[in-house]
Structure 1
Amino acid sequence: MASTSSAYSACANTDTFCQIRVYQQEVIVVPVLFLMMFLVILVFLLLMKFCPEKVDRLQPNSKQSARNRRNLQGIDAPVGLNALEGEHIALDTTSYKTFTPSSTIKEEYTSDSLSVNVAFPNGRGSFGATASAFTKPKELPRQRLPENFNGVSPLPSSYSLKSDSVSLYRARMENRNVVLRVLKDSASKQENQSFLGFAAFLSQLGPNPFIPELLGIVSLRAPLITVMEEMEHRDLLGFLWRCRQDKVGLEGICEMTEKKIYTMALHVSTALDYLHNKDLLHCNIKARSVLVSSMFTAKLWGFGDLYARTSENTNHREDLGRKKWQAPELLVKRPATPKSDVWSFGLLLYEMVTLGEVPFAEIPVTELLQYHQRAKTLKKPHNCSNSLYSIIKACCQWKEQDRPSLAEVRRKLQSGEKSANDSVVLRVPEPINVEQYLKEAGYGESNYTVF
């Protein structure tokens, strides 16, 4: 202290730098340490608020390993897929009674008891080279989803007309709208197994910008839930029906133009090409199997039949409403090929340009094969351009070898999109009669559904 005082007294009153050097610890070092501690605490608090998964990595190894063990109990998920295992789900509705933890469900549907036999045949009926990568997914890291869903409410009945084992809810998650596919109380053990198997199938399918995004899976508690991104305009068929009128109430104005048909068809063809590259055949291409986002992005859906075929589900029943869209080789029970999807894709274009009419509406399902054998083609819709109609006709050729490949179809769509009319809005004054539509499409009952 005496030395410090003597050093200080040696400094002139106006020599500030001399005085700072004497008291550098008190003036510089200590404040800098306090500032660094403040910054570290601030960064940690920001991480806890906005990036909780990174904070988890900073926890002690014992806590982290325990949390990892819990996460590994669910369905294996690829990078970017969040798992909701063990998280609390708060629903703002009282209509669903089983949104509480259930030990029996948790014990019964762990990953050890879930056995999903998934095989991916290629167009020739054999198994593709990429199939093994799907049947044995690797354990990959998962992110933590929020503990609560906000604003959960049942979707309107118009969203799904089919009564099956799944209920649909809309919710908010991380400032975005999502759809919750919730397995009902009355579901059997086989339906539980199928529900989880389909979720595993979607997670293994991988992300694609033109396939609806799977955001999370609840598989260790009742009820079982898959969380999907919401496609605000719902299925393409309903969207086309709403486009028949000038105004669509609160949903705004539908403006389906020829250019938009080309653009949305390119979206679907991109997703279909993604499946074909994985040796997967959709075999259910139609407007009802396409979902539309708020930005009018078309995303391919309708994977239930694909999962049933690849999982070798013996209880799978064929959908009678698919026959109007099936290629001739499928009507005679021959193996499907990529050209079979090309046929159905041509009929999807027909649905889009007619704003949701049934292809071959005047032909009964029982006479459809004979009609195709006589080399009959679809009549040109009154508001369809020659270039678009030529693509439809090329896709719907009787012989598979006469149909263009999907790559050729995509090239024609890209070329047509550049010169397509984007100013004339397609309109059909008559609304759709749903009962008549179901009859013309070959449905035995009203089993129309979206998810």
Structure 2
Amino acid sequence: MSSNSTADNLCAADDTLCIVTQHDLAVIIVPSLLLLGTLLTLLTLCIVRCLPERRRKRVAAPRRYGSSSRGRTQRHDRRQHLQGIDAPPGINPLEHEELPMSVQQVPTVAAVPQTATERRRGAFGQVSALPLSFSVGSSDPVSLYRARMDDRDVVLRVLRETASGSEQQHFVGFASFVSGLGPHPFLPALLGVVSVESPLTMVVEELRHRDLLSFLWRCRQENSSSESRCDMTEKRVFTMAGQVASALEYLHSRRCVHGNVGARSVLVGGDLTAKLWGLGPAYRGSTGAPRGAEDAALTKWQAPEALAGNAVTQSGDTWSFGILLYEMITLGDPPFAQLAATELLQHLQRGKHLKRPASCSNALYSAITSCSHWNPQQRPSMSELRRKLRAGEKSANGRTVLAVPGPMNIEKYLREAGYGEAYNYAVL
């Protein structure tokens, strides 16, 4: 109504063209301009709000190492492809550096992208071969070396250059698995990975006394001399066992089954701190791979359900932990020495257990037998075992050094423990 009145005021009554022009201006063009102005204003406001947010995201993107261990694990979980390894926090030599794990492209290795920055092999000094208790078979693709890195003793797990593509993939996957476990005081620290240059290398902290089994055997020899330098007492057994139980409890909290608990899989530091290693079966279990040939050599450490062909479980780790306690108190005796590996399951079905060693107290033997229940549900959890070990440690004998007559005969040990002659139990 108002638009018609305006057109009549500006135009003569008989000027139809003028009336139509004024009508279009008032009814169509002006509202259209107003609408266009409103849209432009809204668009400007959106740009102003979104631009600072995108700028903040770009600034925050490089901050990868100030987060907690839990945040780092979540980033690993979101990765669809293997990108690299985050060095655990608290490691000075690498300054929390992310170490990419790319390898040289080979036809059978997939989803391992190449990157340009990582610690080079030139960072290692005083590299020497690490002597093993038994020689590594020619089929083993990994060689072990002792080295220095940033004024720290380390062990290098080096993949031989003749390794196949699948062996390279397994090596990188294992390194990623160990890194994903995160830091723990009783797990050896993974310090980094060399993957841009050949050969692929894992850098792990060195523990002075190496594996616990060899350490126990050395205690036998030292205790047989006039001046004993081995401080292996019953109290020490409780202490070191509690440390291994702490590591197992941590792995179980991450829904990880170790599957390889034994003295051969425990490393001993210069201060006699025990750290759990031997994580190969745990990695294979996480990928769903079948048990390897080396797993078959662990028969006398396996729970009855595993001997019957079922999967190794956390309660199976508890059973093996009881065998570890037996090894420690006997300074490295093989379990069930008088039995062939093929006779063990039938022996256990009759309700038989490990015999109590002469130097074993009631408290320690109670811990061993609690791990040896035929029913897995009756075995204690690692947290319950830790409480039991702490209580036993308070009253344990810390003065009398454990002694076993005579050194260990390695050939006899291999036979009684069920290992093959060329089997290498060493893990570092």
Query: Which one is further off, 304-313 or 315-324?
Result: 315-324
Q: Quickly say closer, same or farther: Cα 1:441–1:233, change in 2 above 3 A.
A: same
Q: Quickly say closer, same or farther: Cα 1:108–1:354, change in 2 above 3 A.
A: same
Q: Quickly say closer, same or farther: Cα 1:181–1:108, change in 2 above 3 A.
A: same
Q: Quickly say closer, same or farther: Cα 1:341–1:290, change in 2 above 3 A.
A: same
Q: Output the amino acid matched with 1:113.
A: A
1:82-113 alpha-carbon deviations (Å, 9 max, x no partner): 45669xxxxxxxxxxxxxxxxx9534499963
Quote the residue 1:394 is aligned against: 370
1:259-299 alpha-carbon deviations (Å, 9 max, x no partner): 10000001000000000100111121100011111111100
Quote the residue 1:77 is aligned against: 86
1:268 to 239, 244, 255: 244
Q: Which runs of 4+ in 1 moved over 6 A?
A: 109-112, 142-146
Q: Quickly say closer, same or farther: Cα 1:162–1:390, change in 2 above 3 A.
A: farther
Post-superposition shift, 1:339? 1.6
**1:420 and 2:396 aligned:** yes
**1:148 and 2:123 aligned:** yes
1:224 and 1:146 map into 2 onto residues whose CA distance is 10
Post-superposition shift, 1:414? 0.3
Post-superposition shift, 1:326? 0.4
2:82 and 2:310 map into 1 onto residues whose CA distance is 41
1:165 and 1:248 map into 2 onto residues whose CA distance is 38
1:379 and 1:425 map into 2 onto residues whose CA distance is 21
Q: 3-state DSSP class of the match of 1:245?
A: helix
1:236 and 1:441 map into 2 onto residues whose CA distance is 16
1:200 and 1:411 map into 2 onto residues whose CA distance is 32
Q: Quickly say closer, same or farther: Cα 1:159–1:174, change in 2 above 3 A.
A: farther
What does 1:41-440 correspond to in 2, within 5 Å? 75-77=84-86, 79-80=88-89, 82-83=97-98, 106-108=104-106, 113-114=111-112, 148-158=123-133, 161-163=136-138, 164-246=140-222, 253-313=229-289, 316-317=292-293, 319-440=295-416
Q: Is the 8 A contact 2:337 2:417 kept in 1?
A: yes
Q: Quickly say closer, same or farther: Cα 1:353–1:314, change in 2 above 3 A.
A: closer
1:248 and 1:84 map into 2 onto residues whose CA distance is 47
1:304 and 1:105 map into 2 onto residues whose CA distance is 21
Q: 3-state DSSP class of the match of 2:400?
A: coil
Post-superposition shift, 1:357? 0.5
Post-superposition shift, 1:394? 1.3
Q: Quickly say closer, same or farther: Cα 1:168–1:189, change in 2 above 3 A.
A: same
1:387 and 1:439 map into 2 onto residues whose CA distance is 30
How many residue pairs are counted as aligned between the two chains? 339
1:404 and 1:169 map into 2 onto residues whose CA distance is 38
1:313 and 1:75 map into 2 onto residues whose CA distance is 22
Structure 1 vs Structure 2 CA RMSD: 3.0
For the pair shown, the structure with the greater C-alpha radius of gyration is 2
Query: Which one is further off, 422-431 or 142-151?
Result: 142-151
Post-superposition shift, 1:318? 5.1
Q: 3-state DSSP class of the match of 1:106?
A: coil
2:210 and 2:125 map into 1 onto residues whose CA distance is 21
Q: 3-state DSSP class of the match of 1:215?
A: strand
Post-superposition shift, 1:173? 0.9
1:424 and 1:238 map into 2 onto residues whose CA distance is 21
2:224 and 2:270 map into 1 onto residues whose CA distance is 14
Q: Quickly say closer, same or farther: Cα 1:333–1:166, change in 2 above 3 A.
A: same
Q: Which runs of 5+ in 2 are unaligned?
A: 1-58, 64-80, 90-95
Post-superposition shift, 1:444? 2.5
Q: Percent identity?
A: 51
Post-superposition shift, 1:144? 6.3
Post-superposition shift, 1:312? 2.6
Q: Scaled by the length of structure 1, what TM-score is found?
A: 0.69
Q: 3-state DSSP class of the match of 1:169?
A: strand
Q: 3-state DSSP class of the match of 1:274?
A: helix
Q: Is the 8 A contact 1:82 1:215 kept in 2?
A: no
1:337 and 1:166 map into 2 onto residues whose CA distance is 28
1:182-235 alpha-carbon deviations (Å, 9 max, x no partner): 111221111111111111111111111100100000111101000000011000
Q: Quickly say closer, same or farther: Cα 1:315–1:395, change in 2 above 3 A.
A: closer
